[in-house]
Amino acid sequence: MTMSSLSSNPYKGTRDWYPEDKRVQNYIFKVWRETAESFGYEEYGAPLLEPIEVYAAKSGQELVNEQTYVFTDRGERTVAIRPEMTPTISRMVAARRQEMAYPARLYSIANFMRYERPQRGREREFWQLNLDLFGVESVLADAEIITYGAQMLKRFGAKNSMFVIKINNRKVIDVMMREYLGLDEVGAQLMVKLFDRKSKISTEEFRDQAIAIFGQEAAPAGLKKISELLLTKDIESMPSELANHGAFGELRQLFVELKKTKVTNAVFDITLMRGLDYYTGTVFEFFDTDPENNRSLFGGGRYDGLVGLFGAEPISAVGMAPGLTTTELFLKSHDLLPDMTSTTEAYVITLSEELRDQASKLANDLRAEGVRVELDITGRKLDKQLKTALKKKIPFLVFIGHDEVEKEVYTFKDTTSETEHHYSFARMVGAIKDRRRNGEDDLDTLFG
Beginning with the edge strand found earlier in the chain, give each strand of the sheet holding 346-350 in spatial order: 373-375, 346-350, 396-400, 409-414, 419-424
Reduce the DSSP state of residue 255 to 3 states and report it: helix
What is the maximal distance between C-alpha atoms in the chain?
96
Q: What is the pLDDT of residue 64?
A: 72
Block mean pLDDT (10 aa), the chain, length 448: 79 94 96 98 97 77 79 93 94 95 97 89 93 97 98 97 95 90 90 85 92 93 91 83 82 95 94 81 96 92 91 93 96 94 94 94 97 96 95 95 94 93 96 84 38
Neighbouring-strand partners of residue 268:
167
CA pair distance 134, 229, nearest whole angstrom: 33
Q: Would strands 42-43 and 104-113 be described as parallel, antiparallel, or unpaired?
A: parallel
Q: What is the pLDDT of residue 438?
A: 81
Q: What is the pLDDT of residue 445?
A: 36
Neighbouring-strand partners of residue 282:
169
Q: Is the peptide bond before 103 cis (omega within 30 degrees of 0)?
A: yes
Q: What is the pLDDT of residue 275?
A: 67
How many C-alpha atoms does 90 have within 13 Å on its Cβ side?
A: 30
Reduce the DSSP state of residue 265 to 3 states and report it: coil
Q: What is the pLDDT of residue 246?
A: 80
Reduce the DSSP state of residue 106 to 3 states and report it: strand
* Domains of the chain, start order: 19-333 (3.30.930.10), 346-447 (3.40.50.800)
Query: Phi, psi at residue 386, to the nearest 5°?
Result: -60, -45
CA pair distance 56, 95, nearest whole angstrom: 19
Give this prediction's pTM.
Answer: 0.88
Q: What is the pLDDT of residue 441?
A: 41
CA pair distance 410, 349, nearest whole angstrom: 11
Asked if 163 and 263 count as a contact pair (C-beta separation under 8 A), the reply is no
Task: Spell out the long-range contacts of 211-218 with Cβ–Cβ below 8 A and sequence spacing 24 or more.
Answer: 213/183, 213/187, 214/181, 214/183, 214/187, 218/182
Asked if 82 and 88 count as a contact pair (C-beta separation under 8 A), the reply is yes
CA pair distance 394, 325, nearest whole angstrom: 26
